[in-house]
């Protein structure tokens, strides 16, 4: 029942208006279009946060909010010392939806990525700044910090929050 409610609310929010999310080719968004887009994202974020908080309340593991607006299962995680630009890190992560269904069979993995020189999901890149070598953390990520309005154009649809199991190798 919760799965159906979660999907229904996300679908309702994303389909509630045919709001333009990007400017037309060769055009610019009007002030009204920008306001509509801003309000849509604000409402979507509020809905996702409420649904994620309800999901968290039903879990045996505690999750803690971070300054970047995602949750992690490690208290004080984003208060740790940050890794600096140009340092190397190897990592992998698996993506899940909030039904805890794994989205891709194989993990996404990067070897010797250099901070400041790789492009990753905002929440993943932020979490990599604080993770310890060999540590594994679980992130609960709203769609705005995941694949956003467009999805990944493969298996992840638009406006889908994700569970990311991240490990520093």
Domain ranges of the chain: 63-168
**Secondary structure (3-state) at 3:** helix
Percent with pLDDT over 70 in the chain: 83
pLDDT the model gives residue 27: 60
H helix or E strand, kind and range, residue 45? helix 31-57
Domain with residues 63-168, CATH architecture: Roll (3.10)
Q: Residue 138: pLDDT above 80?
A: yes
> With bands split at pLDDT 50, 70 and 90, how would you rate the model's confidence at 39?
confident
Lowest mean pLDDT among 20-24, 67-71, 90-94, 130-134: 20-24
Residue 97 sits at the vertex; the CA angle it makes with 96 and 99, to the nearest 5 degrees, is 115
**Residue 119 vs residue 17, higher pLDDT:** 119
The model's pTM: 0.78
Q: What is the mean pLDDT of residues 117-131?
A: 92
Cβ atoms 84, 130 nearer than 8 A: no
Average per-residue pLDDT in the chain? 85
């Amino acid at each position: 029942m919760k799965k159906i409610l979660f999907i229904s609310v996300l679908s309702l929010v994303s389909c509630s208006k045919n709001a333009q999310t990007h400017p037309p080719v060769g055009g610019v968004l009007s002030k009204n279009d920008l306001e509509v887009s801003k309000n849509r994202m604000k409402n979507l974020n509020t809905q996702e946060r409420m649904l994620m908080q309800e999901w968290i309340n039903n879990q045996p593991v505690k999750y803690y909010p971070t300054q970047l607006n995602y949750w992690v299962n490690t208290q004080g995680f984003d208060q740790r010392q940050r890794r600096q630009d140009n340092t190397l890190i190897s990592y992998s992560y698996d993506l899940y939806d909030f039904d805890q269904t794994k989205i891709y069979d194989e993990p996404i993995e990067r070897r010797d990525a250099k901070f400041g020189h790789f492009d990753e999901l905002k929440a993943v890149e932020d979490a990599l700044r604080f993770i310890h070598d060999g540590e594994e953390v679980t992130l609960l990520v709203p769609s705005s910090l995941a694949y956003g309005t467009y999805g990944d154009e493969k298996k992840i649809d638009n406006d889908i929050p994700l569970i990311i199991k991240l490990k520093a190798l």
